[in-house]
Amino acid sequence: METLDPQDVATYPLSKRLKQATQWQHDSVERSMSALRPFESRDGYVRLLTVQYGFQRYMMAFYRDAALVEWIPDLPERCRYSDTRRDCEDLGIDLAALDAQCPPALPLSSPAALGWLYVNEGSNLGAAFLFNSAVELGMSESFGARHLAPRETGRGLHWRTFTRYLDAIPLSDSEKAWAIAGARDAFVHVESLARPLAHISNE
């Protein structure tokens, strides 16, 4: 990802501050996802999908939260849980077993939840690369890779609309700090989903 100058960050809008504060975590998660060797085989892709499903399932409640929807009106339509679930069904993944392993989402303050949303919405940008590789494995926007497919409006506009809403939310400095802590926790959560599967990919 592009690097921001830390000197200027305090003056940046929240979306940019979140980016700066989590850049190294993004790079680490990117490495962890690559360690799943997701595009070498269908089994590898199932590992990636398992991580995505765990994260989308955990995030589901955030997209229905009335206080968050007030700030981000198109939030419910942004939720990728159903698409990810159908992708898993396409590939015959045992969802009952996965569901049994998924912890319920912990209640969070709204500012912290914004940080989690930033991480999940931002992951749509990198999904462009993942989608293209998934297509080479036989996946498509109607089979196995629905959750990675671009939205009708295009990824760029979809993301800019989100950051416009995010950056317009009136938050105090301490609430912004909560948002940053939320984004950090979200990346930690994704890592915790990916790491155990990386061992399987090396067996």
Closest CA to 52 of 98, 96, 112: 98
Alpha-carbon distance of 24 to 192, in angstroms, equals: 16
Please pick, from the candidates 123, 147, 179, 201, the single residue that binds ligand HEM as defined by CB under 6 A: 123
Task: Measure the CA–CA gap between 145 and 139, rounded to whole angstroms.
Answer: 6
1 binds ligand HEM (CB under 6 A): yes
| DSSP element (H, E) containing 129 | helix 110-136
> Judged by CB, which is closer to ligand HEM: 41, or 92?
41
Of the pair 72, 190, the CB lying nearest ligand HEM is at 190
3-class state of residue 140 by DSSP = strand
Ramachandran bin of 144, using left for φ above 0, alpha for ψ from -120 to 50, beta for the remaining angles: left
Instruction: Tell me which residues in 56-115 interact with ligand HEM (CB under 6 A).
Output: none
Q: Identity (one letter) of the amino acid at 157? A: L
Q: Is 125 a binder of ligand HEM (CB under 6 A)? A: yes
Q: Scan residues 163-182 and list those touching ligand HEM (CB under 6 A).
A: none
Residue whose entry in the numeric block shows the structure tokens 């015959």? 92
Nearest approach in angstroms of CB 93 to ligand HEM is 18
Q: Establish if 29 lies at the interface with ligand HEM (CB under 6 A).
A: yes
Q: Nearest residue by C-beta to ligand HEM?
A: 122
Instruction: For residues 102 and 108, give the distance between their C-alpha atoms in angstroms, rounded to a whole number.
Output: 17
Q: Is 71:169 a contact under the CB 8 Å cutoff? A: yes
Out of 64, 129, 164, 168, which residue is the one contacting ligand HEM (CB under 6 A)? 129
Q: Is 9 in the site for ligand HEM (CB under 6 A)?
A: no
Our finding on whether 36 is near ligand HEM (CB under 6 A) is no
29: amino acid identity, one letter: V
Nearer to ligand HEM, 30 or 40 (CB): 30
Residues that bind ligand HEM (CB under 6 A): 1, 15, 19, 26, 29-30, 33-34, 55, 118-120, 122-123, 125-126, 129, 190
